[in-house]
Structure formats: structure tokens, C-alpha cells
Chain A
Amino acid sequence: MATTRVVQEEPVTATVVAGGGPTPASASPWQHRHLLDLDDVSTDEIATVLQSASAMKAVVQRDVKKVPTLRGRTIVTLFYEASTRTRVSFEAAGKLLSADVINLSAGGSSAEKGESLLDTVLTLQATAADLLVIRHGHSGAPYFAARNLTRTAVINAGDGAHAHPTQALLDLFTMQEHLGSLKGRKVLIVGDISHSRVARSDLWGLCKVGAIPVLCGPPTLMPWDLLKGRAERPGHPFASVQVEQDIDEAMRDADVVMPLRIQKERQAAGLLPSLREYAQQWQVNGERLARLAPNALVMHPGPMNEGVEISPEVAHGLQSAIETQVTNGLAVRMALLLLMATPQGGLNG
């Protein structure tokens, strides 16, 4: 009985098909209790998030932005690393959906007194946090939290150099908003790929939606571990990823150009000659953009080092979607909070 869908108005006591769900819903549109990375998120699930985010964006843009959806739920943001965009975006997303949001950072919390990550997250669970948004300098910390929590769902807001799935989703959303289908689109990521959790999650997302990621930057900063064997092994998740040494060649006909922040400590580690030399060789500047990719969308996960990986005129130019990314981040995170506010998710009533 494939074609008959149920259409009655449902009693609140029954669990029945979602009135607002996507029309071709055969399986659940979202299968995850936690969101830790995009590696195990399906292409359909990504599509659901992006479609839902698009509807959320309309909510964010209207006069009365606040909706009652998550009344009575508690979201805790736990940040062991600095953040402007991501933390504020999660906080605003939760508040616009009427959840209570508690912000905690390592400084000022008992982490300063040496409390372990485990004890901290168990404490937060015991204070009735339904959802924990966690950023940590160590790769894997959100996984550790998720493994040890029974009632609280976890969203990874960036762990070490490993993953930043909500950033990747907002990147995909922004690209799709400007370009339509991403199938076959050339998305250039420039810079320090190997230390970038954004780039890693972007790679998962881009490959899943059929875009063609092109990586460009100093060979010392390429994620060779991740790409190993992609040419030989069939079914390699990053089979479609291209690596290009020459930025001029890489930028030609790119649909998206995304320079990454050069983290200054890489120079101390001997991976970069100097910021000046990096800027000369790899900077996305107005001259390069006009000559090679005059229609490309310019994106940056922020924060930017203007004058290093990106020139100010590009960062704030007509092709830049960098501010739009921030607005979209809010819509994407609201969509995720709604998708995760489920009986099997952490936002239990």
C-alpha cells in the first residue's frame, strides 16, 4: 500500500503521521539521537534539514519570530573553546523556539577547578538538560559525552580538528540557496584543510550531495590521512575530492570559493613559512576572483583574518555570502532543534 497516505486529523494521544512532515515521507526524516558529524547522516536527511531550514528562515524573517514549539525544554551550550557565531546562533535558535537556554563556558565553570568532562556533562544531565551543545578542543569529546548520557542528546558544535556538522549544514544550505542543486558544483576550499573541522565536515556533506570538493593549499596542510586511497579503493567516501596545488588553476570556474582561517599557531609549528608569504601565494583576493571566478560565491566559516586568507574587498564584496552564512546558521540550527525534539531524541517532554 504505497500510495495511500493517512490524512485524518490525529488525536494527540496517537503517534501518527506528521501533518507537517515532508510529503514523500516513507521513513523517518531524521534518524539520529545525537548529531556528532555528517559521516553517518544520509543524503535524504541532509535534504530534510535544508528544506526545513528554508521554512525556518521565513520564520526568522517575520515580525513575530518567536514560536512556542520547544516550551519547557532546556538546552545547554557548553563551550570549552571560544566562539561567537556558533554559540550565539544556538542560543538564538533555542530562544526563538521558546526553549530555555543556559550557556556555560569552561572559564567560570567548575572545569576551572578541575572537574572532568564526564562529571560536567553528567551534572548537566542531572539538571534536566534535554540537549547539550558542546564544543571542545579535543576531537571526540562530544562522542564521549554522547556515550555517557542517557537522557540528554548531544550536538557537536566543533571538536578539535575533527568535525563541525552544523557549520557544514549551514554551508550546504547557503550554497543551495544561491546555486540550486549542488550536484556537480565545484566547491573550492583553500587553506589549512588538515586542521579544519569545518573542512572535514564540509567534505562529508559535499560528497553526499554530489558536489565536487576541490582542496587547495600548502601540502603541509592537506588532510592526506583522510584522502588516502581514494583513487584506488572503490567506494571511498572522498572519491570525488580533487586536490589542486595551484590556486589560480583551482579557482578557475569554481562555483564556490571558501578560504579557511589560517590559524597563526601553524606557523610556529613550522607548517607555514610566514603569513605574508601565505597571503601572497594563497589569498583569495579581488584580482584573482575577478579574473578566475567572477560569479563564484565567496564563503568563510569565520572568524576571518582579513588580509591573510581573504582580502577585505572580497570578504565584504558583492560575491560574499559570509554574513548570509550567519543568518542561515540560525535557520539551520532551528531546523535541527525541531528534528531532534522527539521522543527518541533528547528533548523529551
Chain B
Amino acid sequence: MAQQQKKSIMTAQEMRRALTRIAHEILEHNGGAKDLVLVGVRTRGVPLAHRLAELIKSFEGIDVPVGTLDITLYRDDVHLRGPLALEATDLPVSVTGYRVVLVDDVLFTGRTARAAMDAVIDLGRPMNIQLAALVDRGHRELPIRADYIGKNIPSSLSEEIQVRLSEIDKVDEVVILPEAGSSQQMSEAGR
């Protein structure tokens, strides 16, 4: 089982520091939190967006609105995947005129980010869209880069990067697994 060969590449403390830095960078880059909305990309972008909002609140005392985005309808691989259910997209504000920070756990091919941008643009006309990712593992297939990155993790295509968050997985860590195909992931999705 792949479990035994997993390698931890980010501890809970490192994750906390990375998110703290990202929160500061977001404030610095935008000159504060005015007109800012953090949008978590389902599934693990959502708790990350909430954590960034809490950090921003602790620094500046400002409540930044947090939204949830389901990108299923904008995927470019609907026909390659198993049956897809849709979950709620829930934004507390109209994105029009806002600085939208998309938050995701892993930036990889860039296809999710592309879909997320299309999804946001269908909801309104934001002032701009920025991208924050806890992990950038490279291997972009689209001309997309993140504005805020927790950690760059050069990886091989055959490896698998898992971000685990306490809200969902009961633990905060990032691990790397050799051979993506050996894990539960494939049995779950290779139907």
C-alpha cells in the first residue's frame, strides 16, 4: 500500500506559517482588504480560504467575505470522468467590482484554475482575479501562474501530492506518494 512509502513534505506548523505568509502577501499586494473576497475551490480550497480569512482578521481586524466555488460545470474533462455530481457554489457577494482571490490546495496542470476563472466570470465582472495555492507542484498545461504560493514542490508526474486538512482529514499535512496509480485514488475513480 502506498501509505507506507508516503513522505511528509509539509507539517502542520509549516502549513500554518505558509498560510500566515500568504495572508500577509494578499494584504500587501492589495493594499489592505478592501473589496477583497476569498473564494475557495471545492473541496480543500474552502477550508484554506476560511483560514486565510481568519488570519487576515487577526492582523487587520477586517472580516473578508469567503465564498465557495464548485467548478464541475466548467471542467474540460467532463466526458473523461466518472459521473459528476454538482455541489453548491456559494458566494456571499456579487463578484462584480471585487478583487477575487481563488484559493486551492494544489496548483498542478492549471486546468482547475482555468475552470475556476471561467466560473467566477460567469457570476459577474470582478475587478481582478488572483490565485493562491498551498502547493505548486509544477507541470502546467496552461499559461497560468499563482500570485501566492505556500510551497513549491517539484514533483514527478507519477507521484501524487496530497494535502490533508484537519477540517476534512483530521490532520494538517502535505504528503507525497510515489506512483499515483497505487493509491486509493485510482480505485475510487478508475471505475
Say which size band chain B's interface belongs to.
35 or more
From A8, A23, A70, contact of B108 by CB (8 A): A8
In the complex, A318 has a CB within 8 A of chain B: no
Could you count the A-B residue pairs with CB atoms below 8 Å apart for me: how many are there? 184
B78 and A17 contacting across the interface, CB-CB below 8 Å: no
The answer for the CA separation of A348 and B122 in the assembled complex, in Å, is 26
A20 to B45, CA, bound (A): 12
A154-B92 Cα distance, complex, nearest whole Å: 39
**Residue A268 is within 8 A (CB to CB) of chain B in the complex:** no
- Give the contacting residue for A20; candidates B42, B108, B185; CB below 8 A: B42
Task: Scan residues 102-145 of chain B and give those whose CB is less than 8 A from a CB of chain A.
Answer: 104-109, 111-112, 118, 122-124, 137, 139, 141
Q: Which of A23, A25, A347 contacts B188 (CB 8 A)?
A: A25
| Alpha-carbon distance A142/B109, docked complex (angstroms) | 41
Q: Which of B79, B83, B88 has the most CB of A within 10 A?
A: B83
- B39 is an interface residue with CB less than 8 A from chain A: no
Q: Tell me the smallest distance from the CB of B73 to a CB of chain A, in Å.
A: 4
Interface size for A (C-beta < 8 A) is: 56
A46 CB, min distance to chain B CBs, angstroms: 12
Listed in ascending order, the chain B residues whose CB lies under 8 Å from chain A are 1, 3, 41-44, 70-90, 104-109, 111-112, 118, 122-124, 137, 139, 141, 157, 160-164, 168-170, 180, 183-186, 188-191
7 other A-B residue contacts (CB within 8 Å) besides A18-B189, A30-B83: A4-B164, A7-B164, A8-B106, A8-B161, A12-B77, A20-B84, A342-B81
Chain A residues with CB under 8 Å of chain B are 1, 3-12, 14-23, 25-26, 28-31, 48, 51-52, 54-56, 58-59, 62-64, 67-70, 73, 97, 335, 338-345, 347-349
